[in-house]
Amino acid sequence: MAAPLLLVTNDDGVRSEGIRALADGLEGLGRVVVIAPDREQSATSHSITLDRPVRVNHLSEGWLSVEGTPTDCVLLAANSLLGEKPALVVSGINHGPNLGDDVTYSGTVAAAMEGHLLDIPSIAVSLSTGSSPLHFATAARFARRIAAKLLDEGSPNGALLNVNIPNLAEEAIRGIRITRLGKRLYVDSVIEKTDPRGKPYFWIGGSPSWESGKNTDHAAVLEGFVSVTPLHLDLTDYKAVVEMENWTL
């Protein structure tokens, strides 16, 4: 049997350190093809390019850059560039965590969501950065382990996997935990200042804080564990559907 085709993409851009580490880490597990945005596309969420043509550039053997979003990359790869559906989509390794509610902003997770929507087992991998040195190679070894498992077993209940890895040396990582998304608390997340012309401006960011919760992705990474959260995209609130059956609209 031919080696499985592994599509690697990200949102930090094709030249980022994380995607190189990921492609290296997956080598030998299958045929690795990298198709990623030509520039940083972090926090672009699940956006898709519809209003202009999308150009693709061949950089080297198995490496292509796309003038578009992470979602564009997966869509083009699966429907055209690869000539076949990949066995796996692996997105990352993102420079910075994608935890809890932040998955809705993440381009890294969105690429895996696109794979998931195309019925391809998909993984998003993020390194919880913050201090030097950055342990991308260690993160890549965990990504490989999880990717190998997914190739063997298929997606658990069809879920996509959101993986966050603490920025630690391999021997300092305490294990892997299956988690749920944590809840982010939006405190001081907008900074208001005045520009040199006296006009106010706003900067969205600030430092996040998190609700402490059992089995959350945030808690796992904080305690030195690799966090693996299975996600699905049926956003329907089924309890609300039941509750609303009594509404008279």
Binding site for Mn ion (CB under 5 A): 11-12, 42, 94
Degrees to nearest 5, angle at CA 50 with 47 and 53: 120
Min dist. Cβ of residue 25 to Mn ion (A): 18
Cβ proximity to Mn ion, 12 vs 217, nearer residue: 12
Min dist. Cβ of residue 7 to Mn ion (A): 17
Cβ proximity to Mn ion, 9 vs 94, nearer residue: 94
| DSSP characters over 94-143 | EES---GGGGGT-HHHHHHHHHHHTT--EEEEEEE-SSSSP-HHHHHHHH
Closest residue by beta carbon to Mn ion: 42
Cβ proximity to Mn ion, 129 vs 189, nearer residue: 129
- SS3 of 49-99: the string is CCCCCCCEEEEECCEEEECCCHHHHHHHHHHHHCCCCCCEEEEEEEECCCC
Three-class SS state of 18: helix
Cβ proximity to Mn ion, 94 vs 227, nearer residue: 94
Cβ proximity to Mn ion, 134 vs 151, nearer residue: 134
Min dist. Cβ of residue 11 to Mn ion (A): 4
Min dist. Cβ of residue 121 to Mn ion (A): 22
Sheet with 122-128: list strands edge to edge: 56-60, 63-66, 31-37, 5-9, 88-95, 122-128, 160-166, 225-231, 175-178
Min dist. Cβ of residue 4 to Mn ion (A): 26
Cβ proximity to Mn ion, 7 vs 87, nearer residue: 7
Min dist. Cβ of residue 103 to Mn ion (A): 12
Distance of CA 94 to the CA centre of its chain: 7
CA max distance for the chain: 67
Q: Are 56 and 81 in contact (CB under 8 A)?
A: yes
